Chain A
Amino acid sequence: DAGITQSPRHKVTETGTPVTLRCHQTENHRYMYWYRQDPGHGLRLIHYSYGVKDTDKGEVSDGYSVSRSKTEDFLLTLESATSSQTSVYFCAIASVSTSTDTQYFGPGTRLTVL
């Protein structure tokens, strides 16, 4: 998985609780992304980062925040989890945003919000 790990790999939590997912890379890539994957919707971008402390919103950012204090770590936080955030979350990395490179994905985190 191109030097990408995600933790935890599985989590069950209750509505209203805060949840933080971690993405860690050993590739020193500049760009990092958080996606969620749901049946019928494919992969949808939540937030992305183009450098330390530089982040921007994606297609489905409501209810999520991110932080990137180090090149290797990108955190996704659900401030108050809701059942609609039950999903599989994937982190991806890229060395450049265009040209000959593209995104490589982590193994995913399966989140269930009860």
Chain B
Amino acid sequence: QQQVKQSPQSLIVQKGGISIINCAYENTAFDYFPWYQQFPGKGPALLIAIRPDVSEKKEGRFTISFNKSAKQFSLHIMDSQPGDSATYFCAASRSNAGNMLTFGGGTRLMVKP
């Protein structure tokens, strides 16, 4: 059972544009929602994370929007740059269950110069 569904699988954005990646989850017990960025040959790196007591979190050009009632969250990358080209994974976990992360399938982002 895929508990975290991520879309789109791939995304092409022009430099300076906004990249939007969406995730939906099923388990209402999830209480931690991170996004990871992965470059080829590297492990995923934590980008930004949110807990369900807030609806939005912004760090620089990266913003998470969270809709608890819809069980959806999204990553917005403002002013996208070629250096943002990577694979992005959303994830979710329960802090009272060892916080094992359940990952979405990933989105391969390409930002064209």
Determine if chain A interacts with chain B.
Answer: no
